[in-house]
Structure 1
Amino acid sequence: MAQELHYTNGNNAWNPDSLGNHRIVLQVAAPGNAVHAHIAWRRNDNDPQLKRIIVTDAQNHRIDNVFTENITREAGDIYFQPVQGKGTYYVYYLPYKNEGRSNYPRGVYVKADTTASATWLNQLHKNTAAAATVKELQAINAFNSFYPMEVIATAAETQQLLAKYPGKAYLVFPEDRLHAIKMKTDLPYRWIKSGVQQQLSGTSDKGAYYAFQLGVYALQQLQNVHVQFSDLKTAGGAVISSDKIDCINTTGLQYDGKPFKQTVQVAAHDIQPLWCGVDVPAAATPGVYKGTATVQCDGMPATTIQLQLTVSNTTAVNGGVNTPENMTRVKWLNSAMAQENTVIAPYTPLAIQDSTINLLGRNLKIGKDGLPAQIQTFFTPEMTSVSSTPNNLFTEPVHFHFTDAANKNFLHWKTNGFTFTRREPGTVAWEATSTSEALEMQVSATMEFDGFVAYSVKFTALNDVQLNDINLHLPMQPDASKYLMGLGLKGGNRPDTVQWKWDVAHKNQDGAWIGSVNAGLQFSLRDEHYVRPLNTNFYLQKPLLLPTSWGNSNKGGIDVFQKGKAILVNAYSGARNMKKGEVLYYNFNLLITPFHAINTDFQWSTRFYHKYDNLDTIKATGATVVNIHHGTPINPWINYPFIEWKQMKSYIDEAHSKGLKVKIYNTIRELSNHTYELPVLRSLGHEVYSPGKGGGFTWLQEHVGSDYIAAWFVPEVKDAAIINSGMNRWHNYYVEGMNWLVQNVGIDGIYLDDVAFDRVTMKRIKRVLTNNGHPGIIDLHSANQYNPSDGFNNSANLYMEHFPYLNRLWYGEYFDYNKNNPDFFLTEVSGIPFGLMGEMLQDGGNPWRGMIYGMTNRLGWTNVNDPRPLWKLWQSFGLEKSAMIGYWSGNCPVTTSNGKVLATVYKKDGKAMVAIASWADADTEVQLNIDWKALGIDAAKARITAPAIEGFQQAGDFTKNALPVAKGKGWLLVIE
């Protein structure tokens, strides 16, 4: 057996940013001009001969006179001058430097160099150099260690092993759960020592999930690799059924509850870990259970591994999931928790009246062809309540147009009407089939309790047909289409004409929101191959797929213009021919807005402190909710809050005792490299982690290798994240994990920093966060996505499907609160047209304009525009229980003499607070126009004053005086 080095923990004894994370400890017995060390380091990195080797003395002073040769991945020879005589010396063999942004570093390994003097090199006699003793190989800490599963076997050892199995197409190495298989092409030296085993033994408590691995080493290309399990049985006849044993690489449940099946292929000379597990029943009889796991692949003999699982007499606490380091949570990847589409508060069960579906504040009337005949909302212009007066969205039913070469609508449809196929409180579904002489149209649609409507529209050619165009018309009422957001436009007043074309290579755009404050509609165009793209800096690495139908080789697009009484949204796809039997899917989704009335009292009474801090300090500010970011002592690792959970629980328990709530940063877009299950997720190919060029922080390069996208990095704790691929089974884990945090740690909600999951996962999260009366507060932050790397999407448009389940918005970096118009504030930032309220971030926000929409910035994140003086005024005035009447409603009882100086009223019995903000081009002076009757105040007795607010305004009396308004600023006035 070859020399085996001892691998030890360096306990952070050196600075990795100059020396790297790995070193060899040498002992020199006697002084001399040169010593030699042959180091069998068994490195897993490529091209080690190109990387610098640094030799230091015991005080980490670099030694110049160093000569290296025979540097390979397996070993290397180091000659150096022991300038301090006998004693300890170190060889650092992966030094690096970080380039790029601190939060997106590019770890670059320093190139090999020569520092030895010519004199010393001439005097170097390699054959007579004294031997230095190799004592151990150290990683800077345990987390950076390569031992044991990333210590490679030599080529000779590998060939010797393979020689024992001539003619084999593959070998199977069973491995326990604590030695995760990490290398893709190198056998670990551990397997050389153990040899090829035919059995695996383990121990589990009752009720726990026992995970294990079957490492398949392909000696030639393997197709359809999978595992079959037998029952596990004791000598006494107790049985754990084979249906309690699974292989997550091949079967399971998708994030949306549909069955998951993956065909595993293994390239020649690759290693594929198959992660398997036994879900031991809580009622299992203690004892030794035996059975088999049989690895099979197409055209090759099967390999059977004997399994032996000893089940203890102890019942696992919480199913064993409190110890994720034992891979007990791997089963969460196939969880169906909170998948039932039960109605979530404040929404109400769907109700059907003839052809109309009623939901909270809205309804949808279905036409005979299954398409929307009308959509109505019932929200008041102030958005604070629901009325009995409908707001119609359409001037006529939604419909398709099919035009021939003469551009005439030439198809005459026959339909027998639609049929409801599902009637549940949370979901209603229906179908309709229409036929013409050339095409059949099959409409399948579902509507959910929050106002989401998904249409699958399948067109089948009954004969060969030439089409000049296929168009979908959304004929919007002008009153319900004042604003538009999307299609390459920032949110704001709708232009008279919009012309948009598909450009998925550069733009994350497939629809828009069009509407008014109390009635609107988001539409998005899809086909049956839709895959959610990446977002937040990574859109270009996984963009939208051009819909075959709507895109039609980039012939398609969307025009918005006035036609007759309607503001027509015309989605067209251009000329095409369809052969008899050909099928096209013109699918589309709708979101009916607003989702609910705004909850102003929540806005005034719930004040966020966005920083980990002393709880007494936070309490004294007047904040009521603490947001705990990642990179903090109790939540250090991004989107993996399960390692320091005991410290988190202690903090939250103390917060609760002081009347504070605590929410944590936790989402899916990227995932910490500290994730226990990282090797498991890597074994799933690209299901969870996106393909990419690798790189990033050096830990990722050393332990993940390649084929990933490096994401956010926190220098203070050296937390390096990897980008999630999008819609996958990690969402199941996320839901289970969130439920565990609520039940075991006591979190009061989550802070979302952009979102990489869809509304299916959002609904599941809201259910577990609010279960059993937990508050389940969710706020969503987004940087402005309207830029090239994000595909020029509007953050509100991108995340609107999540808005029904949010409590607050925080939009965000790169949102300009000073150079944008009020309509931009209203549509893209405030959340009000969707039933939400928000806060500001960039540069502390504009507090005067913010108060027009009930917004401040967030305490703890910035020292600019401290919101506490405004909070105090809210409390002293009694803003809770006031009626917010915004300038947008048309019923606001206070306006100004300048159309660019806007007013929002917060009305109470006998008094009112008026927020004034200017978008005028210069300082100005305005008169207030007050509807005293609507305000409910006697004009003869009223006083109009400005209370002193630190950093906001000086005190003043404007009862009889005009109001001076500085450019970009405003006032908070009290009328009483």
Structure 2
Amino acid sequence: MNLTKNTLNIITALLLSLFTINTGAQSEVNYGIADTPWEAGFGNHRAVVEVAKKADAVKLDLNWRRHDKNPEDRRLLIINAKTGDTIPNIHRLDVNNEYCKLVFGPVDEGTYYFYYLPFKPDKEWGFYRYGYLKKEDTPSKHWMEENKLDRSKKLKKLPRAICTEIQARTDFDSFYPMEVTATQAEQEQLVNSTASDYIAIAEDRKYPIKMRNYLPLKWIKEGVTHQFEGKAQKNEYYAFQIGIYASKTNLENVTLVFHDLKSPNNSNIPASAFTCFNTHGVDPYGTPFTKQVNVKKGQIQPLWIGTDILATTESGTYKGHVTIKADNQPDKTIEIALNVSEETIADRGDNEPWRHSRLRWLNSTIGLDNHPTKPYTPITLKEENKLDLYGKQVALNEYGLPSTINVWSTEILNAPIRYNLEGETIEPKAPQSTDHDLGTFTKTYTARSENFDIQTINTTEFDGHLNYKIKLVAKKDCELNDFKLEIPFQSSIAEYMMGMGLPGTLVPQNHSAKWKGPHDSFWVGNTYGGLHVELRGGSYHGPLLNLYKPAPPESWHNGGKGGFSIEKGDNETIATIYSGQRKFEKGETLVFEVSFLITPVRKIDTKSQFVNRYYHNGLDPMPKDDEITDGVKIVNLHHASKYNPYINYPFVATKEMKSFVDQMHAKDLKVKIYYTIRELTNYTTEIWALRSLGNEILGTGKGGGYPWLQEHLVGGYRPQWYSPLENGIDASIVNAPGDSRWYNYYLEGLAWLVKKNDIDGLYLDDVSYDRRILKRMRKILDGIKPGCMMDLHSNTGFSKGPATQYTEFFPYLDKLWFGESFKYDEMPPENWLVEVSGIPFGHMGDMLHAGGNPWRGMVYGMTVRYPWFTEGVSCDPRQIWKVWDSFGIDEARMIGYWDKRPVINTSNPNVKATAYIKEGKLLVAIASWAKEPVSVKLNIDWDAVGLTKSQVKMIAPKIENYQPEQLFSVDDDLTIDPTKGWLLVVE
């Protein structure tokens, strides 16, 4: 007898069904992956259902064992596999997480696909806008009556459809095996089989424990054992798990005690080789810590364990045990047998993410030292309180605050910075202690007043960053009218400011601000010197982005009483930070923390700006040969491309990335990749291990977002950016704010990418860590591959001035790309100079939004990146680059209108000009901020530019979409339309 595959499937399923009926056990189904992914909108999961013969209605009992929320609210969709026709009638009998019982029809003999999680796809990248489809329509009344579906006897007699397999659309979507749930009955049977209040099960790294509130069917089938056997190689960092199920009571303070593993020849793997990442760790600043693990009744807590197997470890089977402890519970023991093979694995196993060897990166201290990074130099102590830094000198007074700050021979202060306890006289005492090494200088100063003892700890770093913690300790119950910090700038330096509610602007005569929004910092200065000031004291010190808005430090905020003011005088401009009146009890302590960064952080490298031109083209990052000939030197490899598909986790498509990097290097181009930390892709191999750490690394939230997240993470997360892939979605979730060990992982990942994929640096996009992490990054890049670069992009909509929020990053960056949401045609020159150009800080930048404004951009040495386009505007800077190359701008000296001694200005103050000077010729960039067309004359200091007026000609070279070719006399009036300008060659 010849049986079709369909018939065999039905017979097998029926036999299993009969066995189930006879034994009373829950029936099981096979789990598989579709040969070819089906249409995404049908959902990520389906049941393959066989119907034996044609019928008007058939019954289906499906034990789908799901752990996602509200399965009863999802649309059920049944489609004839042969014809593609949709079954019109589905009558739900019972739908819950364990099973569904339903009747559907009419049907023909054959195979049907039962999709139970269909949703509306969103083909655009960004934020997922749709969701699951609403429940299907109720079946027709006629069909219900014809089949008498309101009668239980009739239901029992209906022919049965049989599920032969539950399929996932792709392997990545699959629930099998660790998300196939045990039923409530199976779970209770397991719990009742043991007298203990909790169950501990060791699990292989291949099967990360994923569910929090359901036991996996795998554990029911395998039973509770107290043994674990693993296979490892020499030099491998071997990971495994122990799942703790609090079956009968809450568990508190769960810990693991490790013991030596011994082999028959008496070799051992010492207890010290083991780490439990859930209970112990090292923070991003090198400080070890412990975590208390509590498990609520009915929940599962995975404990991830790492084992450091040395390359010198002898092969063999190592046996021992790990002891599990919890408060008020008897100890449990898991016997461990680890088989170490003769083979030695390369790179500790890090080349194969499934091994989870990279979990040790969570506790890395890479880049943690006080050595200066380039171009900075070690701190030298000229006298007891006089520090010499790279291009900067700082003198500290008897209170520990700067009395002078000199940057490249420019003095910033008009008088010492001072703190003031209003109404009290402060008396300084002798300094308590000093600590000095190559990169930091730390000194503790003390003082006293009538009501307070005062301690000031100053930490000065090699990059010109000064941190102060000023601690007040009340000697008795008292009231303090105000605590103020006053910064007296020289008015000649205090030309511009940003922050405290102001964009980049001229310093106003008076300005006041209260602490609200992202007003935690400000900058005052010019291109010769300045000071960035950040008020600190909270637990989070990164940029105040839209995703992270922690409460302000209470010391400065003081319930809204604190604030800021600045007042400009002829010689002195005073910025004052105040905290307002408050009461103290005897012994009460309050710390005011503030950080200063001296600017500019370095000398501007104009050559790099004009030579290192960027190719930045999102989904198509491969420049063509003619584009390279036109001057592209650096490619930024964005995420969501096939070479770097997964946001902030470039460890999956590593072969593709390496191939791209090699191709670019062969063409003498450098490659920087998008790799930041604010959100994390669902393709992160270690995502389940990270989730086991609570909300240390992965942020919390209401869930939702792209269906994959809802089906696997279920809840307790916040969805973020997503991008369509060829057969799926890169769907990210927000990382937790504040310091976390993911920073350590991220830094080790950076080192790995430079070593293995040979990348040339990073493109950073609105990151959340602080300057300390960026300093580690710079040390890693310089140590592994000198010449690596980092540039930073931000959106002004996040912070109303990203330069204010990111100034502390500037010592370690190579370039700025601020400009998303910038309105270039509306921004005044001071806004351009301070927030766009980077020039006051020792940097240069590129334009972004809608291509910027090319005429104004050239005043600051900027173009748009090629072939970037936004707002439907494609902007091509290559014609300007050709003028650069023809002139030789990379060897020119740049002198702008902002300089003390500009060599060129115009007859209209609303028209600005910058000179690029070379021997024998001059390039002049002119742009108008006037609101109407104007005619202006150029006033050129001919001696300063080294030219003779009577012997020169002035030409406007033709630049498409910029200017026509035109010959001028140096005395001609130039007509300029609003927002436009000229680029002139004088020679």
* TM-score interval, normalised by the smaller of the two chains: over 0.9
How far apart in 1 are the matches of 2:28 and 2:545? 46
Query: Given the alignment of the two structures, is residue 425 of structure 1 paired with residue 438 of structure 2, yes or no?
Result: yes
Which residue number in structure 1 is paired with residue 105 of structure 2? 81
The 3-state SS of whatever aligns with 1:264 is coil
Q: Which residue of 1 aligns with 2:93?
A: 69
SS of the residue corresponding to residue 979 of structure 2 reads coil
1:801-827 CA-partner distances (Å, limit 9, x unpaired): 111111111112101110010000011
1:446 aligned to which of 459, 478, 498: 459
CA contact (8 A) 1:100 1:106 kept: no
| Distance change (3 Å), C-alpha of 1:617 and 1:65 | farther
The alpha carbon displacement at 1:530 in A equals 2.7
State yes or no: 1:208 paired with 2:236: yes
Equivalent residue, structure 2, for 1:818: 825
C-alpha change, 1:618 and 1:961, in structure 2 (3 Å) is closer
- TM superposition score normalised by structure 2: 0.94
- For 1:295 and 1:616, locate their aligned partners in 2 and report how far apart those are by CA, in whole Å: 62
Instruction: Decide whether aligned partners of structure 1 residues 570 and 302 sit closer, same or farther in structure 2, where only a CA change above 3 A counts.
Output: same
Query: Do the aligned partners of 1:249 and 1:262 also contact (CA within 8 Å) in 2?
Result: yes
Partner of residue 384, structure 1: none
The answer to whether the 8 Å contact 1:68/1:78 transfers is yes
Alignment check: 8 A CA contact 1:531 1:545 kept: no
SS of the aligned residue for 2:348 comes to: helix
Matched, 1:245 2:270: no
Of 468, 489, 502 in structure 2, the residue corresponding to residue 489 of structure 1 is 502
2:395 corresponds to 1:394: no
- Which residues in structure 2 correspond to 1:94-113 (within 5 Å)? 94-97=117-120, 102-113=125-136
1:381 maps to which residue? none
> Which residue identity lines up with residue 816 of structure 2 in the other structure?
L
Q: For residues 209 and 641 of structure 1, what CA distance do their matches in structure 2 show?
A: 21
Question: Aligned to 2:602, which of 586, 593, 596?
Answer: 596
Partner Cα distance (1:353, 1:116) in 2: 88
Kept in 2, the 8 Å contact 1:102–1:713? The answer is yes
The match for 1:190 among 196, 211, 218 is: 218
Q: One-letter code of the match for 2:369?
A: E
Q: Which amino acid aligns with 1:846?
A: N
Asked if the contact 2:645/2:725 (under 8 Å) is kept, the reply is no
Q: Does 1:696 align with 2:705?
A: yes
Any residues of structure 2 matched to 1:104-123 within 5 Å, and which?
A: 104-123=127-146
Q: Distance in 2 between matches of 1:111 and 1:968?
A: 52
SS in structure 1 opposite 2:376?
coil
Query: Which deviations, in whole Å up to 9, do the C-alpha atoms of 1:757-798 show, x marking residues without a partner?
Result: 11111111112222244321111111113xxxx3x4420111
Contact between 2:424 and 2:450, CA under 8 Å: does it hold in 1?
Answer: no
Task: Provide the rounded CA distance (Å) in 1 between the counterparts of 2:590 and 2:121.
Answer: 50
Counterpart among 405, 412, 432 of residue 426 in structure 2: 412
Check 1:176–1:107 CA distance in 2 against 1; reply closer, same or farther (3 A cut). Answer: farther
Output one character per residue of 1:169-193: Cα deviation in whole Å (capped at 9) or x when no partner.
2111111101001111100111111
CA distance in 2, matches of 1:621, 1:696: 43
Q: Which residue of 1 aligns with 2:788?
A: 776
Contact 2:926 2:982 (C-alpha < 8 Å) held by counterparts = yes
State the one-letter code of the partner of 1:467.
Answer: L
Contact 1:608 1:626 in 2 (8 A): yes
Among 656, 662, 679, the residue aligned to 1:670: 679
Is contact 1:513-1:522 (8 Å) kept?
Answer: yes
**Structure 1 outlier segments of 4+, above 6 Å:** none
| CA deviation after TM superposition for structure 1 residue 446, in Å | 1.0
Kindly report which structure 2 residues correspond to 1:34-45, keeping only aligned pairs within 5 A, or say none: 34-45=57-68
Partner residue, 2:11: none
2:732 is matched with 721
Distance 2:163 2:600 in 1: 70
1:867 aligned partner: 877
Superposed, 1:757-768 pairs within 5 Å as 757-768=769-780
Say whether residues 1:681 and 2:711 are aligned partners. Answer: no
Post-superposition shift, 1:614? 5.0
CA deviations on 1:920-967 (whole Å, 9 max, x unpaired) are 111111111111111110111011111111221111112142111111
* 1:372 has 2:402 as partner: yes
Query: Following the alignment from structure 1 to structure 2, what is the Cα–Cα distance between the partners of residues 872 and 141?
Result: 49
1:500 is aligned to 2:530: no
Q: CA deviation at 1:626?
A: 0.9
Q: 2:814 aligns with which of 807, 811, 814?
A: 807
Once the two structures are TM-superposed, the CA of residue 753 in structure 1 deviates from its matched residue by 1.0
| Counterpart contact for 1:107–1:695, Cα < 8 Å | no
* Separation in structure 2 between the aligned mates of residue 768 and residue 532 of structure 1, nearest angstrom: 22
Q: Secondary structure at the match of 2:252?
A: strand
Q: CA deviation at 1:308?
A: 1.0
Where structure 1 has 5 or more consecutive residues not aligned to the other structure, the ranges are 379-389, 404-408
Q: Name the residue aligned to 2:522.
A: 512
**Over residues 370-411 of structure 1, what are the superposed CA-to-partner deviations in whole Å (9 max), with x where a residue is unaligned?**
111111111xxxxxxxxxxx22222211111112xxxxx322
Shift of 1:522: 1.0
Unaligned stretches of 5+ in structure 2? 1-24, 148-153
**For 1:224, what is the secondary structure of its paired residue?**
coil
Which of 113, 138, 141 is 2:170 aligned to? 141
Distance 1:919 1:888 in 2: 15
- Aligned letter for 1:145? S
Paired position in structure 1 for 2:743 = 731
Which digits, 9 at most, give the CA deviation of each residue in 1:260-294, with x for residues without a partner?
Answer: 22111111111111111101111111111112111
Q: Paired residue for 1:712, among 718, 721, 726?
A: 721
Q: 2:490 maps to which residue? A: 477
Match of 1:385 in 2: none
Q: In 2 relative to 1, CA 13–526 (structure 1 residues): closer, same or farther, beyond 3 Å?
A: closer
Q: Partner residue of 1:740?
A: 752
1:337 has 2:366 as partner: yes
Q: Distance in 2 between matches of 1:656 and 1:13?
A: 36
CA distance in 1, matches of 2:983, 2:565: 42
Query: What does residue range 771-920 of structure 1 map to in structure 2 within 5 Å?
Result: 771-785=783-797, 790=798, 792-862=799-869, 864-920=874-930
Aligned letter for 2:535? L
Tell me by how many angstroms 1:867 deviates: 0.4
Aligned counterpart, 2:351: 322
Structure 1 CA distance for aligned equivalents of residues 137 and 676 of structure 2: 47
Tell me, yes or no, if structure 1 residue 260 matches structure 2 residue 289. Answer: yes
AA aligned to 1:357 is L
**TM-aligned CA distance change 1:353 to 1:419, over 3 Å:** farther
Whole-Å Cα distance in 1 between the matches of residues 553 and 223 of structure 2?
A: 52
User: Equivalent residue of 2:188, what SS?
Assistant: helix
Contact (CA 8 Å) 1:902, 1:917: kept in 2 or not?
Answer: yes
Residue deviations 1:694-719 (CA, integer Å, cap 9, x gap) = 11111111111111111111024510
Distance 2:682 2:356 in 1: 15
Match of 1:606 among 608, 612, 620: 612
- Equivalent residues of 1:207, 1:319 under 8 A apart: yes
Q: Deviation at 1:82?
A: 4.2
Deviation at 1:544, TM superposition (A): 2.4
Partner of 2:3: none
The 2-side partners of 1:869 and 1:350 are apart by 45
* C-alpha separation in 2, matches of 1:535 and 1:719: 26
Query: Partner of 1:921: helix, strand, or coil?
Result: coil
CA RMSD of aligned residues (A): 1.6
Q: Kindly indicate whether the alpha-carbon contact (under 8 Å) linking 2:507 and 2:568 is maintained by their aligned counterparts in 1.
A: no
| 1:937 matched to 2:947 | yes
Q: Judge which range, 824-833 or 43-52, deviates more.
A: 43-52
What count of residue pairs does the alignment treat as equivalent? 944
1:483 Cα deviation after fit: 1.0
TM-superposition CA deviations, 1:819-862 (whole Å, max 9, x none): 01000001111111111100011111100000000000000222
Q: What is the alpha-carbon distance in structure 2 between the residues aligned to residue 481 and residue 702 of structure 1?
A: 56
